[in-house]
Structure 1
Amino acid sequence: MQPNLFSDIKSINTFRISVLLIDDQPMIAEAVRRALEDEKDIEFHYCQDPSKAIKIANRIHPTIILQDLVMPEVNGLMMVRFFRVNKETNQIPIIILSTKEDPKVKSEAFSLGVNDYLVKLPDKIELIARLRYHSTAYLYHRQRDEAFAALEESQRKLHEANQALEKLSSLDGLTGIANRRQFDKVIANEWNRAIRNYSPISLLMLDIDFFKLYNDTYGHQKGDTCLKQVAEVLKANEKRPADLAARYGGEEFAFILPETDKHGALEKASSILNMLREANIPHKASTVHTILTASIGVATMNAERGTSPDNLILQADKALYIAKERGRNQLVVSGEE
């Protein structure tokens, strides 16, 4: 069953209207309470001390605030300012209760963010209608914001999942370095970049010497460990963000070196061979050494428009073949055979 991305968002019908009255006169509070007592979907809360109003509002999360305009110690309009700068209450609708109509005061109140203005005490039907209207509008607004937030969160999670999936699909399952699919993608991109930048691009092709004999001697589990160790050596040689070590297939690996000339490629190949020897992986079945060694073919080209990296791969592969033919455990640079 497909999960509902908005399952945590309540239906508008499940919300209860919650009224917070702030007024220093208990008589007004009692009158409002009586007016609302038959409304089963309306909760009534009363605060007589305006200094505690923000704290209470933060705790009960009302859907509407009824507030007296004239209170001891705290000016009603100043109270509105407090609500509007408070993160928890800045969107809650506020209805001002006043003893008289005053256009100037009403104008200032609305400019501060008041939603409605009533002369107290209003008719019961009118009071309830206004409470319902403003609360419902607020709840719809809040629900919309929650829906947008849920959508953004689901999109963020989907993006992260897609990135993780893309990363997994680009890595070799055994060694953890780039797989053949990623190699093909990256070398095509780097080839095109080399064309645009008129820069050289180099490629190393590496083959583990006598790997079949290694597997036959030590077993396939040890063989898998050996492949991982070689991959670690290659990974350690990725010194720049654009460098890419990849498993090309079986015991063959590739190393893409963008913006690298023949001299730089030769240095990198030498570094890999030296580090592999330093890893000191035993290989008693090898005919060239008592430890695991490898052969590397090196190729460098200047990419040209209308061409593909296929020739670069072919040249590196030919150099690798020659290195193996010459006895393995060495590197050969294409063009210097």
Structure 2
Amino acid sequence: MPDTPKILIVDDTPANLLVMESLLEGVGAQLLTATSGQQALSLMLEHEFSLVLLDVQMPDMDGFETATLLRGRKQTRHLPIIFVTAIGKDDGQIARGYEAGAVDYLFKPVNPHILRSKVEIFLELDRQRRLLARKSAELDHKVKELLALKKQLEAANRQLNELSLTDALTGLANRRCFQEALQTEWRRAMRCGQPLTLVMADIDFFKQFNDIYGHVAGDECLVKVAAVARSPLMRPADLAARYGGEEFVLLLPNTDLEGGVCQAEEIRLAVEKLAIVHEGSTIGPHLTMSFGVASVVPRRELDPMDLVCVADKALYTAKERGRNQVDVQGRGAFGSGA
């Protein structure tokens, strides 16, 4: 059996080996024998032992030398060794044995009860050691599994968070993401005293587009417009988001009103170049967009939604003036400090 512990009995006298084997019969371990220290060391290369019963007085290599060599090998450094000796209970010899690595002593003639009792104790210690090693290995495996699962969960959470902040159709940021970014950038701009600019854009006569060409074509149109809206945004902090059905916003940190107008005009012209046919438009044969731009250096008495409201009013004005154009906030839209 692979889990059966092994005991090595080392004695240069075959009769002693037979006696020891008979005394340990039924102890619950596989018994192997060696008649010399050299043979014992050779067996160590082939087997993993739980205990060694080692005779002290042997020719060529005695028990002390054998134990010292066993302690010098990494694989057998902690192998329990019980010296079996007939040299008497000389304190010097006993001390030498412990220095060589012995964990206990048995004196010949061996008392059968003491022998079995000590062997059973060390076998139980070995069983506990092996059990602990198995449990430790199982625990390590579980820890690795949990760490892998943790990484999977973290990746899934990141993906879910990204999905919760992304418009499924266009791939732009969604309204929730925009609102969170607006709060963040508002606070940053207020600390730094920098302008924050918002562009609101709306596809002209999009309801009519859907009525004429269907919602599938409408969705394709939104995807194309979203790609155009994203293209001029080169800085990491700039954000393009889908605000509503056919309404988009650009959040432009550290950008003044003129910069926002330039961005809006660039997108307006790019949408015209798409040349998406729109028979329901009253201002031309192709799809167009209208834009409202607002910019402010945030102050404590203002609210981020003030910026949205002003940009939305500018967008409304652009529509009222004929669409397919960019309009900006009126002078003093944010009060005397604007």
> 1:283·1:292 contact (CA, 8 Å) conserved in 2?
yes
1:154 aligns with 2:149: yes
Indicate if the aligned counterparts of 2:170 and 2:222 stay in contact, CA closer than 8 A: yes
Which of 62, 73, 84 does residue 79 from structure 1 map onto? 73
Q: Give the aligned partner of residue 214 of structure 2.
A: 219
Pick from 195, 198, 203 the counterpart of residue 200 of structure 1: 195
TM-score (norm 2): 0.69
Q: Amino acid of the residue matched to residue 327 of structure 1? A: G
Q: Aligned residue for 2:79?
A: 95
User: 322, 325, 330: which one pairs with 2:320?
Assistant: 325
Which of 304, 315, 319 is 2:299 aligned to?
A: 304
Matched AA of 2:180:
K
Residue ranges of structure 1 left out of the alignment (5+ in a row) = 1-15, 57-61, 85-92, 107-115
Deviations 1:250-281 (A, max 9, x none): 11111111122223222221222232223332
Identify the residue that residue 245 of structure 2 maps to in structure 1.
250
Aligned to 2:226: 231
C-alpha distance in 2 between matches for 1:147 and 1:329? 62
The one-letter code sitting in structure 2 at the alignment partner of 1:95 is L
**Residue deviations 1:271-326 (CA, integer Å, cap 9, x gap):** 22232223332223322232221111111110112432111001111111111112
Between stretches 275-284 and 199-208, larger displacement belongs to 275-284
Measured after TM superposition, the shift of residue 78 of structure 1 is 4.9
For residues 163 and 218 of structure 1, the distance between their equivalents in structure 2, rounded to whole angstroms, comes to 37
User: Match for 1:273 among 268, 274, 284?
Assistant: 268
- Structure label with greater radius of gyration: 2
CA contact (8 A) 1:188 1:308 kept: no
CA shift in 2, pair 1:300/1:140, >3 Å: same
Q: 1:202 touches 1:258 (CA, 8 Å); kept in 2?
A: yes
- Aligned length, in residue pairs: 289
The whole-number CA distance in structure 1 between the counterparts of 2:31 and 2:155 is 44
Out of 93-102 and 181-190, give the one that drifted further: 93-102
Assess if the C-alpha contact under 8 Å between 2:41 and 2:70 holds in 1: no
Structure 1 counterpart SS, 2:233? coil
Q: Does 1:142 align with 2:137?
A: yes
1:231-258 CA deviation, whole Å, 9 max, x = no partner?
1222323322221111111111111111
Give how far 1:129 is off: 1.1
Q: Percent identity?
A: 34
Query: Structure 1 residues 317, 158: CA separation in 2 closer, same or farther (over 3 Å shift)?
Result: same
Paired residues of 2:82 and 2:105 also in contact (CA < 8 A): yes
Aligned partners of 2:81 and 2:242: how far apart in 1? Answer: 75
Are the equivalent residues in 2 in contact too, given 1:276–1:292 (CA < 8 A)?
Answer: yes
Taking the aligned partners of 2:210 and 2:31, their CA distance within structure 1 comes to: 79
Is the contact made by 2:27 and 2:120 (CA closer than 8 Å) also made in structure 1? no
The 1:140/1:291 distance shift into structure 2, 3 A limit, reads same
After TM superposition, the structure 1 stretch with the greater mean CA deviation from structure 2, 268-277 or 138-147, is 138-147
Query: Under a length normalisation based on structure 1, what TM-score does the superposition of the two structures give?
Result: 0.70
Give 2:148's aligned amino acid.
E
Deviation at 1:97, TM superposition (A): 3.8
Deviation at 1:119, TM superposition (A): 6.8
3-state secondary structure, aligned to 1:246: strand
The match for 1:314 is 309
- Unmatched segments (≥5 aa) in structure 2: 33-39, 55-63, 84-93, 107-114, 334-338
- Verify the 8 A CA contact 2:230 2:240 in the aligned structure 1: yes
Q: Is the 8 A contact 1:17 1:132 kept in 2?
A: no
Equivalent in the alignment of 1:291: 286
CA distance in structure 2 between the partners assigned to 1:180 and 1:317 by the alignment: 15
CA-based RMSD: 4.2
**Does the 8 Å contact 1:246/1:254 carry over to 2?**
yes
